[in-house]
Structure 1
Amino acid sequence: MRYLQRAGHRSLPGRRARLATAAILAVTALAACGGGDGGGGEAEAADGPKAPATIPELTDDPLTLSFIWFEWPPAQALEDFANAEYTKERPNVTIEVNTVPNANWHDAMFTQFAARQTDFDIPILDSQHIGEAVTNGNILDLTDFVDENIDVDAYDPYLLAAYGQYPQAETGQRDEDASLYGLPLLGDTWTMIYRKDLIGDEPPETWDEMIDAAQKCQDENPGVSGLAFHQANGSDAAAVTYNTVNGVYGGNLWNSEDKSIEGVINDEAGQKAMDVLVNEMKPLTAKGSGNWFIDEVNAAVAQGKACIAFQWIAAAGGLLDPAQSTLGTTEDEILDTLGFATLPTQDADVVPLGGMGMHISAYAPAERQAEALNFMKWFEQEDIQKKWAAAGGVPARTDALESPEFLEAGPFNQVYADSVSRMRDMWNVPEYAQLIDIENTNVNAALNGAKDPEEALDDIAEQQQQVLDSSGGGL
């Protein structure tokens, strides 16, 4: 991830401004977004707009292919990479990656979807957004196109399912009979970042050992917090943190077969996870960290204020930039201090699935839909995926993940490759936006002392169950 390491987190105010209106309108349009009424379920998904198996004739006229994503380093990396490489094949095409703040990402897309008119051609959706987009007919069914143009055997089935399949009877499992509505763009998961000079060269192997090491480090190093992790009530920050701890201690978020949440997320394992998070991990974080997300965790690590931290790999690049760090004047000096490891295990061996897929807006003009299909076919080739890896991307193709171009490009790339088989996703249902909001709000409240942890978890279970029940259980 050499590009991202030097790029850091670059602000894109011009692109943000172009999408500001969509973000502002989000509140008034949520009811129209679908957001959890279940839409037409599988029947509507089957009858939605379909992409052709063969790419239609492409135009030779100048054309801008527009993406929408949230504001973070991979967005700029994608735009730079595509304009450098795709234009070798299609010199008349300009790639534009528009961005919005992470907290506005979902609403910026689905507000335009609700209006049945988009100023973007390729929405980059979180894996859990797919159900809402499919049931509302917002994105093209790519199944026939994929069958004709994409080598599906080149991917781990989990990744292909997570970034494109709907419905998912069991989250993350590939069903060859299910339709595909997207293809992988960027893989991701958490890495554990640890201070080798304070913790030691070998990272903790279990979650309990990690907490003990963080406590010892904090006790021995005044002014340095034992832990830094996402806690904010926004995007999926606090929820992903709880979900990760839940999985590590053997819990589950729901029973996907009967769509039950009550009695599952708040069972004994779920309660144990909440207790560990609030009563053991939270006391090891910095004062005022209750609203921390990606930037705040990176700042704490770069400034030497955390013994152990958890961060999305695709967002960790700037940590090796000496201009942003107090841990060394060169990248090598920083790497003498910082270690990157896969997450510790405990009662179970799971890590959070991150990353996103790319999709095609059902409302884009025909010529730009054709160009989007051509871009996808181009992007998913083995040689292009390896170039994307060398440019700072996290590929999903197995051959690219195992290639020197990826594994030697950054110190946390091996962490990702080793984590793929351990990944666990959330609920891939149309009601995702409501479910994540409920969980973020309650976990954040528990972390900040505004709510009893057990009460917060029971409220999550009850409120999320009500959402699924009121919409037909996500079916």
Structure 2
Amino acid sequence: MTFLDKPGVRRRLRRRFTTGVAVMVAVGTLAACGGSDDDSASGGDKAPATLPELTSEPVTLSFLWFEWPPAQALEDFANKEYKKVRPNVTVKVNTVPNPNWHDAIFTQFAARKTDFDIPILDSQHIGEAVTNGSILDITDFVKSNIETEAYDPYLLAAYGQYPQAETGQRDENAKLYGLPLLGDTWAMIYRKDLIGEEPPKTWDEMIATAKKCQEDNPGVSGLAFHQSNGSDAAAVTYNTVNGVYGGKLWDPKEKKIDGIINDEAGKKAMDVLVNQMKPLAPKGSGNWFIDEVNAAIAQGKVCIGFNWLAAIGGLLDPAQSTLGTSKEQILDKLGFATLPTQEADIVPLGGMGMHISKYAPPERQAEALSFMKWFEQADVQKAWAAAGGVPARKDALSSPEFLNAAPWNKVFTDSVPRLRDMWNVPEYAKLIDIENTNVNAALNGAKDPMDALDTIAKEQQAILDQSGDGGGIR
């Protein structure tokens, strides 16, 4: 049993910060908790190339992430394994609800005071954190301490590099501000007992299969997928379908969105999503995200579902499932596969990296560097994989520790060459809000799908135009 499968994980997670407001209120009282209005308290903007001297006094190294099983897995893993090399250190992974995650971190950044040392950032958050001057440049430290050649270049770039000349492409001359913590992508989860052992190979075939399964099994819906207006849920769904049908989100060189996302391929993707996929989704699913999709799959209510790999461990828990009374019985009914292709071979990049707050005290910045160096070692990455994590090192991804840890782990290994990220720019939060709102409205019948797509294109273009530099792209 991995940490992600343990009963009670979600209950423990929800006893953490229950709203982003709790974090925001705390901003005004953090002077004694870490950071200062005086930048000198942080030790500067750039991490040293060599690991600073570490204290032997008790230290609590604090992370800030969002509520989901990997957060508890990381805390448990670190307090078991990192203590073997640093027994005076306690790791605390504090969490907030997913929709509050960005604001919980960046509100503290804006106040130039943080009660966390290591913020876990989405790949698209890096640009905002860098341009705000809130996280350390760790380029020299990485060159001296991390085996960069051991990583897939895409993952090293996505979880740490800024700026990105081309989203997801590693540039040896670009600076690094983070290192991979957790890789992730979508898996297609399907009912082997209802549609057969072999998963659909194309998106069109998948839709046809889901439709037939729904017709043949009264009370069971064809598809479950993310539609919520919270976090990046609805936007990731549209962006995935957009990529599969050969569309692009933008032209980073020309700094152009309008006319790109809403071109013929983009319109085709919106039509498929709203007029072909949505009718196969359960009634009342217009604001579903990770938990709701998992519940529908576990309760036998859908033929095919899409979800982030790192979030699906509970599907094999008999206490949460109606598909069987044991893990083996559930696996007789559930299959896990990479996403189907269509006009293009695209899957969404998930996961995130770990970074170091500029406002953390010097001794905890030093401890954060020590933790990063330790965590990125080959043997530690394999142990993280065995504990339920998704590593980014190539040797860990191909290791038995990872491939045998969960029946869906090979899905990630096979998906890495197909990954596509969004816009890695400081304006990401504004761009994603526009897209989420409009895709969600189209899915729920509040807006004409093509009008929604044109609104996305025009409003996102206006954001880039207002930025003055096209979103910080070189």
TM-score range, shorter chain: over 0.9
* Segment drifting more, 307-316 vs 15-24: 15-24
Task: Establish whether residue 321 from structure 1 lines up as the match of residue 296 from structure 2.
Answer: no
Cα distance between partner residues in 2 of 1:126 and 1:322: 31
Q: Report the counterpart of residue 21 of structure 1 in structure 2.
A: 22
* Segment drifting more, 393-402 vs 16-25: 16-25
* Cα deviation code 1:27-77 (max 9, x no counterpart): xxxxxxxxxxxxxxxxxxxxx810000111000000000000000000000
Cα distance between partner residues in 2 of 1:421 and 1:287: 35
How far is 1:157 from its partner? 0.1
For residue 185 of structure 2, what is the amino acid of its counterpart? Answer: T
Cα distance between partner residues in 2 of 1:339 and 1:413: 12
Runs of 4+ in 1 over 4 A off after TM superposition: 23-26
Which of 341, 351, 356 is equivalent to 2:352?
A: 356
Which of 181, 185, 198 is equivalent to 1:202?
A: 198
For residue 130 of structure 1, what is the amino acid of its counterpart? Answer: I
Q: Report the counterpart of residue 388 of structure 1 in structure 2.
A: 384
Question: Does the CA-based 8 Å contact 1:395-1:401 persist in structure 2?
Answer: yes
Q: Report the counterpart of residue 10 of structure 2 in structure 1.
A: 9
Q: Report the counterpart of residue 36 of structure 1 in structure 2.
A: none
Q: Report the counterpart of residue 134 of structure 2 in structure 1.
A: 138
How far is 1:280 from its partner? 0.1
Cα distance 1:306–1:17, how it changes in 2: closer, same or farther (>3 A)?
A: closer
How far is 1:11 from its partner? 4.2
Q: Report the counterpart of residue 30 of structure 2 in structure 1.
A: none
Mind listing any 5+ residue stretches in structure 2 that lack a counterpart?
A: 28-43
Q: How does 1:31-110 map to 2 (within 5 A)?
A: 49-110=45-106
Q: How many residues align?
A: 454
Question: Does the CA-based 8 Å contact 1:10-1:73 persist in structure 2?
Answer: no
Cα distance between partner residues in 2 of 1:9 and 1:447: 29
CA RMSD of aligned residues (A): 1.3
Question: Does the CA-based 8 Å contact 1:25-1:111 persist in structure 2?
Answer: no
Cα distance between partner residues in 2 of 1:339 and 1:14: 32
For residue 15 of structure 1, what is the amino acid of its counterpart? Answer: R
Task: Establish whether residue 474 from structure 1 lines up as the match of residue 471 from structure 2.
Answer: yes
Cα distance between partner residues in 1 of 2:182 and 2:21: 24
For residue 401 of structure 1, what is the amino acid of its counterpart? Answer: L
Task: For residue 63 of structure 2, give the secondary structure of its aligned residue in structure 1.
Answer: strand
Q: Report the counterpart of residue 431 of structure 1 in structure 2.
A: 427
Cα distance between partner residues in 2 of 1:144 and 1:432: 27
Cα distance between partner residues in 1 of 2:142 and 2:198: 43
Cα distance between partner residues in 1 of 2:364 and 2:49: 16
Cα distance between partner residues in 2 of 1:25 and 1:364: 15
* Cα deviation code 1:259-289 (max 9, x no counterpart): 1000000000000000000000000001110
Question: Does the CA-based 8 Å contact 2:127-2:426 persist in structure 1?
Answer: yes
Question: Does the CA-based 8 Å contact 2:19-2:97 persist in structure 1?
Answer: no
Task: Establish whether residue 256 from structure 1 lines up as the match of residue 257 from structure 2.
Answer: no
Q: Percent identity?
A: 77
Task: Establish whether residue 183 from structure 1 lines up as the match of residue 197 from structure 2.
Answer: no
Cα distance between partner residues in 1 of 2:115 and 2:45: 18
Cα distance between partner residues in 1 of 2:26 and 2:244: 39
Cα distance between partner residues in 2 of 1:60 and 1:97: 21
Which of 298, 304, 312 is equivalent to 2:300?
A: 304
Which of 156, 163, 167 is equivalent to 2:159?
A: 163
Cα distance between partner residues in 2 of 1:18 and 1:328: 35
Q: How does 1:400-415 map to 2 (within 5 A)?
A: 400-415=396-411
Q: Report the counterpart of residue 444 of structure 2 in structure 1.
A: 448
Q: Report the counterpart of residue 36 of structure 2 in structure 1.
A: none
Task: For residue 53 of structure 1, give the secondary structure of its aligned residue in structure 2.
Answer: coil
Cα distance 1:415–1:90, how it changes in 2: closer, same or farther (>3 A)?
A: same
For residue 463 of structure 2, what is the amino acid of its counterpart? Answer: V
Task: For residue 16 of structure 1, give the secondary structure of its aligned residue in structure 2.
Answer: coil
Cα distance between partner residues in 1 of 2:60 and 2:97: 22
For residue 417 of structure 1, what is the amino acid of its counterpart? Answer: T
Question: Does the CA-based 8 Å contact 1:2-1:391 persist in structure 2?
Answer: yes
Task: Establish whether residue 234 from structure 1 lines up as the match of residue 235 from structure 2.
Answer: no
Task: Establish whether residue 284 from structure 1 lines up as the match of residue 280 from structure 2.
Answer: yes
For residue 325 of structure 2, what is the amino acid of its counterpart? Answer: T
Q: Report the counterpart of residue 246 of structure 1 in structure 2.
A: 242
TM-score by length of 1: 0.94
How far is 1:25 from its partner? 8.7
Q: Report the counterpart of residue 214 of structure 1 in structure 2.
A: 210
Cα distance between partner residues in 2 of 1:22 and 1:348: 41
Question: Does the CA-based 8 Å contact 1:435-1:467 persist in structure 2?
Answer: yes
Cα distance 1:23–1:246, how it changes in 2: closer, same or farther (>3 A)?
A: farther
